[in-house]
Amino acid sequence: MVFIVPQAIEDYAAKHTTPLPPLLEELTRDTHANMKAPQMLSGQLEGTLLQFLIRLSGAKRVLELGMFTGFSAQMMAAALPAGGVVVTCDIDPAAHAFAKRYFDRSPHGAKIQPKVGPALETMRTLTGPFDLIFIDADKTNYTNYYERALELLAPGGLIVVDNVLWSGRVLDPKDESDRAIAAFNKHVAGDPRVRQVILTVRDGVMLISRV
Ligand SMILES: C[S@@+](CC[C@H](N)C(=O)[O-])C[C@H]1O[C@@H](n2cnc3c(N)ncnc32)[C@H](O)[C@@H]1O
C-alpha cells in the first residue's frame, strides 16, 4: 500500500500522535510477523482518529466491518464508555483466533463482540441503532455495506469508511476493487441523503453523516 502523504510525513505524524499502549504495539508486531497482508492493520494514526470520533460524538454502540487482528476494534473499545459495545465482523477464522488472544488480554476486551462470517450476512441479522459504523472489509461490497449501514445508523450517527483513496488508484481504476471504490465514492458524492468528507489520512478515510 502506498500512503497518500509521503512516508517521512506519515512517520512524523505518527511520532507526534499519542503512542499506542504496549498490548497494541505487541499485536501490531505479531500481525506483521505472523499474518498474511499485515498492511491491512489500520494503525496508530487512523486508530487514534477513530478514538477522537467516538469520544467527540459520544458514541456507545459501534459496528465494524472487517476486524482482521482486532487492532481497530481494540482502539475503538478503549474510547467507549463503560457499557459501550463494538460489534465486529470478519469472514476469516484465522483472524478471529488471532484477535481473540488479544481481546482476552485487553481491559476493554469485554466490550467487543466478534461475529464470524460474511459481513453483509451479519449485518442482515443485526438490529440498530449504531452510533458509529466503520467500513473496512472487502472493497467490492462497499456500496452494499453503505446502504445497509444507513439503515442501521442512529439519528446523528457517523459512518467512517477506510481506503477510499486506495493508494491513488481511484484516479485510474484498473481492477475490480479499484472500480468498486471509485464507484462507491461517486455513489456517496451523489447521494442527497448524506454529507461527507474525504480525509487524506493514511489510505483515505471518508466520514459520512445524514443531512
Ligand atoms: C483491511 S482488513 C481490516 C483491518 C482492521 N479494521 C484493522 O484496522 O486492523 C479487512 C478484513 O476484512 C475481512 N473480510 C474480507 N471480506 C469479508 C467479508 N465478505 N465479510 C467480512 N469480512 C471480510 C478480511 O478477512 C480482513 O481481515
Residue whose C-alpha cell is 460474511 = 118
pTM over 0.95: yes
Pick the CATH number of 8-32+40-158 from 2.160.10.10, 3.40.50.410, 3.40.50.150, 3.20.20.60: 3.40.50.150
pLDDT for res 1? 72
Q: pLDDT tens for residues 152-198?
A: 999 999 999 999 999 999 999 999 999 999 999 999 999 999 999 99
48 lines ligand 1 (CB under 6 A): no
Transcribe 128-149 into DSSP letters. Answer: --EEEEEE-S-GGGHHHHHHHH
Helix then strand count (H, E) for the chain reads 8, 7
Q: Which atom of ligand 1 is closest in space to residue 46's alpha carbon?
A: 8
CA end-to-end span of the chain, whole Å?
33
The predicted structure's pLDDT at residue 4: 87
Nearest CA to ligand 1 atom 9: 41
Q: What is the pLDDT of residue 2?
A: 75
pLDDT score for 25: 98
Burial class (CB in 10 A: 0-12, 13-18, 19+), 182: middle
**Where are the chain's structural domains?**
8-32+40-158
Closest ligand 1 atom, residue 141 Cα = 19
Ligand 1 in reach of 92 Cβ (< 6 A):
yes
Residue ranges for the chain with pLDDT beneath 70: none
Q: Counting atoms of ligand 1 from 1, which one is nearest the CA of 68? A: 27
Q: What is the pLDDT of residue 155?
A: 97
pLDDT at 24: 98
